[in-house]
Amino acid sequence: MTALTAAPARAARATRPSCRRPVTASAQPTQRRTLLLTTGLTVLLGAGPALASPLNVGDVAPEFALPSTTGGVLSLESLKQAGKWTVAYFYNQDFSPGCSLEAARFQNALPAFAAVNAQVVGISMDTLEKHTEAAAKPASDCASKSLTFPLLSDGTGAVSKAYDAFLDLNFLGKYSDRQTFLVDPKGVVRAKWSERDGSMASVKSPAHTEQVLAAIKAAQEAV
């Protein structure tokens, strides 16, 4: 399967909204959260923006090769060749409160993922420059250090689309949908979780990372 590659890093969209709370009262953060929830519900009900064909457990994971904060390009193929279990989590955008907490939870759980031979990678449509800025500082108050796992820049959204993790919110912009995929060393999707369908445990606590770790251990025991 041909790998999906990213276009050269582009400038951040001027129209992309920020999830950081403004100094003055504004309805924009609430409006964005409402539209994200509404979009998820309409997609589930068959209305609203169309997404790619669902990627199901047992399917071969789409290949990707994307610019990484750890330098160069990181591909799924390279992780498979290294015999790694890949935890690819898609998130909306850098610096938003929920995404920062999610990153912090994965960072804190890295020793546990290393113990089961798993590599965590975060993917969003932010530029590599923005990823690098986000990775260089503590993800949130619950993480005492910067991110050491790779953040990948899906600048064109092609990888997000291939994984059915793409949202187009019209005038609010385009985002990666919050989903996590567990891919085994052979490239097969062994588990997936989506915030939209309620299968994903809370990313604001360790619940989701514990959920992913349990799935890895169960899958490895079944081999």
Active-site positions?
A: 99
Per-residue b/e over 62-89, b at no fewer than 16 CB within 10 Å? bbbbbbbbeeeebbbeebbeeebbbbbb
